[in-house]
């Protein structure tokens, strides 16, 4: 095909003709030597060099990044917790100290520090294990499904968190997956809950579940052996009656044990009437 004829054809017809002729590659009119080394660049003129230096000088300077101090995985530890808790003289100071305390990865992964709910100074103080997802979101203990069961149980026995009950937990931060807090976390949080009980001055402490019962009583026995048996807590020179009982979450999984929980609440009511 002559170049004159090719110029008279429209691009689509020309492309179809090339395909019909078996063309499978497009080459330039000028051959390219791909085997020789590329020619060296011509030296930059004084003006071009000045322009290049000027553009480079206008780039923003890199800012040095200071390394952050390494944060301990387990938190500040028991000794720091004892010192921080002992320095508090009111519940408000204790809540502020707990909010400022380094609780390690457990605290950094939680949304809120769950301190307490109810009436401070109430005759009955309830201590649970740790916040769940609902408690972590709202910043209050026992507000989820197990908390609703606890409220119904308390109301049936004549108690109410808005009138004569005060509620907290051994651990104030939610463990991921609602897993049981490990011993290092429990040991670190124990000075805070002991100081919490000391400042709240309840007549009776009801410990819900094996974690708070074993931690506060210093026992290795499980909740099945501990529940229903009155003990005495010695905290800050005070002797406080304490009763281990089943956790409401456990009762939701084992509803046939609710009768034992009812007996424990009646026992608390009787103890407070003495």
Whether 173 has a pLDDT exceeding 60, the answer reads yes
Q: What is the mean pLDDT of residues 247-271?
A: 97
Distance from chain centroid for Cα 209: 22
| 108 closest CA partner among 185, 39, 29 | 185
Give me the sheet containing 204-208, strands edge to edge: 117-118, 165-169, 124-128, 204-208, 238-245, 231-235
* Beta carbons within 8 Å of 2's beta carbon, 6+ residues apart: none
DSSP codes joined into one string, 45-94: PHHHHHHHHHHHHTSPPPPPPPPPPPPPSS-S-HHHHHHHHHT--SHHHH
Q: What is the mean pLDDT of residues 28-46?
A: 64
Whether 1 has a pLDDT exceeding 70, the answer reads no
* Confidence label for 11 from pLDDT (cuts 50, 70 and 90): confident
pLDDT of res. 197 = 98
pTM for this model (two decimals)? 0.74
CATH 3.30.2040.10 fits 79-273, yes or no: no
- Residue pair 244/231 in contact (Cβ under 8 Å)? The answer is yes
pLDDT tens-digit series, residues 126-157: 999 999 999 999 999 999 999 999 999 999 99
Whether 161 has a pLDDT exceeding 70, the answer reads yes
pLDDT tens-digit series, residues 86-122: 999 999 999 999 999 999 999 999 999 999 999 999 9
pLDDT of res. 109 = 92
- Residue pair 108/174 in contact (Cβ under 8 Å)? The answer is no
């Amino acid at each position: 095909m002559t170049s004159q004829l090719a110029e008279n054809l429209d691009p689509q017809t020309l492309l179809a003709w090339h395909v019909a002729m078996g063309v499978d590659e497009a080459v330039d009119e000028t051959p390219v030597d791909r085997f020789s080394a590329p020619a060296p660049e011509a030296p930059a003129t004084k003006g071009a060099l000045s322009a290049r230096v000027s553009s480079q000088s206008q780039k923003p300077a890199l800012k040095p990044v200071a390394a952050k101090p390494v944060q301990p995985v387990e938190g500040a530890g028991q000794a720091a917790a004892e010192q921080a808790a002992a320095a508090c003289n009111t519940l408000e100071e204790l809540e502020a100290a707990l909010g400022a305390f380094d609780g390690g990865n457990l605290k950094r992964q939680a949304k809120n520090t769950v301190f307490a709910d109810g009436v401070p100074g109430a005759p009955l103080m309830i201590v649970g294990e740790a916040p769940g997802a609902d408690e972590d979101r709202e910043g209050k203990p026992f507000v989820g499904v197990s908390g609703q069961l606890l409220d119904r149980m308390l109301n049936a026995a004549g108690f109410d968190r808005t009138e004569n009950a005060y509620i907290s937990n051994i651990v104030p931060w939610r463990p991921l997956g609602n897993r049981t807090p490990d011993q290092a976390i429990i040991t670190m949080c124990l000075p805070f809950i002991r100081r919490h009980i000391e400042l709240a001055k309840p007549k009776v402490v009801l410990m819900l579940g094996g974690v708070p019962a074993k931690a506060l009583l210093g026992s290795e026995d499980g909740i099945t052996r501990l529940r229903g048996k009155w003990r005495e807590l010695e905290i800050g020179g005070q002797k406080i009656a304490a009763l281990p009982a089943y956790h409401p979450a456990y009762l939701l999984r084992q509803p046939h044990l609710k009768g034992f929980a009812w007996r424990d609440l009646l026992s608390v009511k009787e103890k407070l009437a003495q």
